[in-house]
Amino acid sequence: MKIHFLGVGEACDPERFNTSLLILSGSKKHYILLDCGFTTPHRYFADCSDPEQLDALWISHFHGDHFFGIPLLLLRFWEMGRSKPLLLVGSDGLQEKVEMALDLAYLSLGRKLCYPLQYLPVAEVASFEAAGFFWQTAPMDHSQPCLAVRVTSEGNSLLYSGDGQPTEAVADLARGCDLVVCEAYSVFGQTPGHGSVAECLALARQAGCTKLALVHVNRLERERAASEIRKLSWPG
């Protein structure tokens, strides 16, 4: 499994693209995209000129920095002549939210697309196979419903938190993962509905995970507390 961090920033970060991960499975070469915020499509197409490459798109929740890039992504695929179906995966309301965003951004684009959109709404706790991966979900504690997802391919697993504070269900889901990618909006203390660096480190230790990537760190706190983050992440 290969992971390309297209962005690691929060919604208002002028220096970091919105958090988004492009995942490539092993020998079968399936590509999935985890979240698609305002800035994601430009970053995606900077590296990809093949409109057929992407197999599936996961949306953790419906805040703009996680799904408002969908209209541009689909528009560019249409402009490039994509014909292959695209699978969209997320919580209940996925199709309604995506279609609403499409109509607000480019009225009637959804009806012009020359490739099918396939929707797979999933429950808070679910396990399923799709697009060459085995997927498992668990709820995060966020200001709106948000799902963490674990994706597994050929024995390798990654957990992506989306936004929020990890729940016990997410801690269980993270056990044995090769990599945990976790939202750490604050360094110390708590921000309601968000995780912290300390909480993410605790989650990784509880799950027995040796590799942790911190994303979505508040831009102001990242500047103020860079040295503290390094001390927490690499003690000694």
Q: Which pLDDT does position 27 carry in this prediction?
A: 77
Q: Which pLDDT does position 190 carry in this prediction?
A: 75
Answer yes or no: CATH 3.30.470.20 is held by domain 2-233.
no
- String of DSSP letters for the chain: -EEEEEE-B-TT-SSSPBPEEEEE-STT--EEEE---TTHHHHHHHH---TT-EEEEEE---SHHHHTTHHHHHHHHHHTT--S-EEEEEETTHHHHHHHHHHHHSTTHHHH-SS-EEEEEE-SSEEEEETTEEEEEEE-B-SS--EEEEEEETTEEEEE--SSBPPHHHHHHHTT-SEEEEE--BSSS--TT--BHHHHHHHHHHHT-S-EEEE---HHHHHHTHHHHHHHHS--
Q: Which pLDDT does position 232 carry in this prediction?
A: 63
Q: Which pLDDT does position 236 carry in this prediction?
A: 37
- List per-residue pLDDT tens for the chain, 236 residues long: 999 999 999 999 999 999 999 999 987 799 999 999 999 999 999 999 999 999 999 999 999 999 999 999 999 999 999 999 999 999 999 999 999 999 999 999 999 999 999 999 999 999 999 999 999 999 999 999 999 999 999 999 999 999 999 999 999 999 999 999 999 998 776 788 898 888 899 899 999 988 999 999 998 887 777 677 666 654 43
Q: Which pLDDT does position 233 carry in this prediction?
A: 58
Q: Which pLDDT does position 219 carry in this prediction?
A: 87
Domain ranges within the chain, ordered by starting residue: 2-233
Q: Which pLDDT does position 215 carry in this prediction?
A: 95
